[in-house]
Amino acid sequence: MTRERIVTGGQLSPEEDLVQFSLRPKALNEYIGQNELREKLKVLLEAAKGRGEAVEHILLYGPPGLGKTTLAHIIANEMKAKIISTSGPALQRAGDLMGILTNLNDGDILFIDEIHRLSPFVEEFIYPAMEDFKVDFVVDKGAFAKVINMPLKRFTLVGATTRAGMLSAPLRDRFGLYYHIDFYPPEDLAEIVRRSAGLLEIDIDREAAMVVAGRSRGTPRIANRLLRRVRDYAAVKANGEINSEIAATALDVEGVDSAGLDNLDRKLLKIIIEYYKGGPVGIEALGATLNEETDTLIDMVEPYLLKIGFVQRTKRGRVASPEAARHLGLSLPDNGPQQNLF
């Protein structure tokens, strides 16, 4: 069963994508958070501009909604280069990529989102383009077949993926730089919320921004989404005024609690605690009980619960932590050594 979750890091609709794009920073000095990564990129880009060269190929990896696409556009803006954006699933044939590569100029940025989903044939086609800036393609067939070598301009490939482990070793090795984008602390998210509020002409105080940030699961895309929901609630219920109390009430109405959990998160935890006595319980059993696909639970629900320590994966199954029980106001049965993992 597929459901729309306000706390998912992925895009919910094309309309939301347009709003998110309008809120993205355009330069490194506007980018909030990821300080270590920002400093590395600043040095890299300044050095490349000083030499008059294209930037090395860059791989950005991390959970959805943390700013991989934003950073790709910032790199292009800082280098004053054109950026061509596509995605792994969109490139099914070598011909799809051929037209893009041959139209790139020196220093241009080719951004491929979800690059781990490239087809094997397209992936092999891109190797010489990344390494030697050329592509080989075969014309005719049989005894008349011949290989034509076409040189390319020196471009920069920026790849983004939520699953770096699914990249093949040959593709991964052709990237000169690897940058991991991690979840944001609440302080940085609050600053992002205040910046977005200014762009959307929303009046929000620091305490209210911290409330939104604290429920955003460390993800700027979710923070911006929750900010808009708070704005709508305040416009109807509080004459547009947003304080911490209004923000908390608005997000409670949306079903997002103080820990950033939504109804599906809480339902999963309650089933582990009440129905399965705190665990351990297999993911297949949880999926059957919740009437959800196991892939949905593994990819969309578990990662955040694991991150905040509310769930533990063991060889025997999933176990809920005492902190999860306290957050839900439940008592966790004493299962002996298994619960002592926490």
Q: Among all residues, which ones are annotated catalytic? A: 68-69, 113, 162, 221
Quote the CA–CA distance of 256 and 215 in Å, as a whole number. Answer: 7
Quote the CA–CA distance of 122 and 98 in Å, as a whole number. Answer: 10
For residue 294, the tally of other CB atoms under 10 A from its CB is 15
* Cβ-based neighbours of 246, under 8 Å, separated by 6 or more: 208, 230, 233, 234, 237, 238
Helices (H) and strands (E) in the chain, counts: 15, 9
In which residue are the tokens 């008592």 written? 331
Quote the CA–CA distance of 324 and 309 in Å, as a whole number. Answer: 8
- Nearest CA-CA partner of 19 in 161, 193, 221, 283: 221
Q: Are 213 and 205 in contact (CB under 8 A)?
A: no
70 φ, ψ (degrees, to nearest 5): -60, -45
Which token pair is 72?
């790709």
